[in-house]
Chains A and B, each alone.
Chain A
């Protein structure tokens, strides 16, 4: 899968994570295939957005990359070095190079510690620096996230929510991570606060040359923030490519309906024409072959028998053998971006 000429920072190949579902007497009654055969690469300084519905495996992907879950299959390489595979125990050094930002980064601060102590802690664990060295680093990072130095002596409850978020991000940045996984950084926030967070993340990316994986269900945020986007459905990547291309001309039927469902100010009412019915199937009893075929308008009987792989055309990959049929079906008129696609 050669997408970029420069050597990739992150290589994920055939990554899988299954969770056993246990019943009576701890017997294994089923397997939840939260993540199946996920492969992609990322270059340094890139922002990859990952979108999908609840239960599509977005967070499982983030947590498996992070090492919170051990993969069931496949491997992850960071800078050429293998960091996760089913048999591997992760070294502390790797954990410092990869950081995970939860929905509310401020909540990861200990309420009984001053901000200074919270910011020192990662350095105490991962380095053998002297106190003075650590203090210098902490001050540098605090200045970068616009946290006044006087705030370092305060406790989390004494500062505002916006500053808490900055402090939480500072705690992640003191270790100079290469790759940051942002898990729904704007979920549940008002648009004006959301704009402030995105601006801060953008600024930090420029300053520290960071690489982001942005996990979000908010298509507008992903569209404005990330250069490349991967769409997940039930544990698999169904489409991956440059954001502008995917949003302008989505290929996979699921991506098409996902984009058609997102309301757009100034556009037509999608609720009047949107017709993708039903909900995703039970993740314990996934359909064979393509997992979207139970809701897909292009589905054919043979979709059940196919091992659907991502097929690349330049940098745009799609896991649907029949996506070209769409235009024929719709009298050769490709759906323009933002307009809703009649489905059914």
Chain B
């Protein structure tokens, strides 16, 4: 099955006053049609940078693309061509992290949705012309119904809505253009557990019903477990492990992934700390970027960067010595 989103060997760095920050190092990432893929990693690992590269919102002056490709449905998204621009907001839409800062406070919700429909939404039969206001209204009210909001919300201003309602409106707005893929950047970080369960279930149900793919960036492993079909883990700008949800959580291969899972608080035991800190992107370690913190490091790790290689069915891991150590021993 060809991937809807295909990122290969993509590298990116930022020019800063103190040198070049190597933020993404040869990223490989694929999202297949109708699939929900979790992009998991700690803050600063480059999740948001990948998303901004796909959406074309990188700062032009400082971002330097080192090579590689980002293909969305076969269209090159980094060349900056017209085809790529017309896909953004239509074939690929975005659910932001902060539902409080993502609306224009001066316009009613209805106005903001209608503006979106005017510019981005396809008309009947997929064409972009010949839409009557009635059809637009019908599409909007059907979508509000799908995200469980009353139509009265259209007459309200953003400040009159609660956080959960705003996130529902944002999901509705991401779905209205009938995209192929939705990119969600930590959509529930600002919400409570009950709202998180409501929003995640909504997102998952609508995506599955409509066959829309989702790239779900998060640092919350439990949320990734909840909604994803496949998980991709990043560490300091490198992809370290890719696998289906069950085998990923039951049998993680990469030392970083194992230690990350062991650092979750669980009843009956102290969470285990990963020694050391995240490397400075200005001077990332050579080879595998996890090697200074890895309990299982060897000379090769600091020289050659491990390639993503098969470690099970549909399971890839980038490690020279995968699965060769025990977390409990490493922490003893």
Instruction: Decide whether A and B assemble into one complex.
Output: yes
From known contacts A271-B197, A272-B201, infer whether A263 and B271 are also in contact, taking CB-CB under 8 Å.
no
Choose among B43, B225, B269 the residue with the greatest number of A CB atoms under 10 Å from its CB: B225
Q: For residue B269, which residues in chain A have a CB less than 8 angstroms away from its CB? A: 224
From known contacts A261-B193, A270-B197, A274-B197, infer whether A192 and B263 are also in contact, taking CB-CB under 8 Å.
yes
In contact, B197 and A220 (Cβ under 8 angstroms):
no
Q: Please classify the interface of chain A as helix (H, G, I), strand (E, B), loop, or mixed, using the class held by over half of its residues.
A: helix
In contact, B195 and A195 (Cβ under 8 angstroms):
no
In contact, A219 and B193 (Cβ under 8 angstroms):
yes
A1-9, A165-173, A174-182, A196-204: which lies at the interface: A196-204
Question: Is B321 on the interface with A (CB-CB < 8 A)?
Answer: no
In contact, A199 and B270 (Cβ under 8 angstroms):
yes
Q: With CB as the reference atom, state the residue of chain A lying closest to B256.
A: A192
Chain B residues in the interface with A (C-beta under 8 A): 42-43, 148, 162-165, 189, 192-198, 200-201, 204-205, 219, 221-223, 225-227, 249-250, 259-261, 263-274, 277
Complex Cα distance, B130 from A31, in Å, reads 52
Complex Cα distance, B220 from A264, in Å, reads 11
Q: For residue A271, which residues in chain B have a CB less than 8 angstroms away from its CB? A: 197, 200-201, 204-205, 226-227
B53 to chain A, nearest CB (A): 22
Question: Is A257 on the interface with B (CB-CB < 8 A)?
Answer: yes
In contact, A198 and B221 (Cβ under 8 angstroms):
no
Chain A residues in the interface with B (C-beta under 8 A): 53-54, 160, 162, 188, 190-196, 198-199, 202, 217-221, 223-225, 243-244, 247, 257-258, 260-266, 269-272, 274, 276-277, 279
Complex Cα distance, B201 from A54, in Å, reads 20
Q: For residue A199, which residues in chain B have a CB less than 8 angstroms away from its CB? A: 270-271, 273
In contact, A225 and B265 (Cβ under 8 angstroms):
yes
Complex Cα distance, B189 from A160, in Å, reads 24
Q: For residue B198, which residues in chain A have a CB less than 8 angstroms away from its CB? A: 274, 276-277
Q: With CB as the reference atom, state the residue of chain B lying closest to A196.
A: B273
Complex Cα distance, B205 from A264, in Å, reads 19
A67 to chain B, nearest CB (A): 27
From known contacts A54-B192, A199-B271, A257-B194, infer whether A194 and B265 are also in contact, taking CB-CB under 8 Å.
yes
In contact, A217 and B192 (Cβ under 8 angstroms):
yes
20 contacts between A and B (CB under 8 A): A188-B189, A191-B42, A191-B264, A193-B42, A195-B264, A195-B265, A198-B265, A198-B271, A199-B270, A217-B193, A224-B267, A225-B265, A243-B267, A244-B267, A261-B196, A262-B193, A263-B200, A263-B225, A264-B222, A266-B225
Choose among A223, A225, A243, A270 the residue with the greatest number of B CB atoms under 10 Å from its CB: A270
Point out the residue from A162, A192, A274, A279 that lies within 8 Å of B42, measured CB to CB: A192
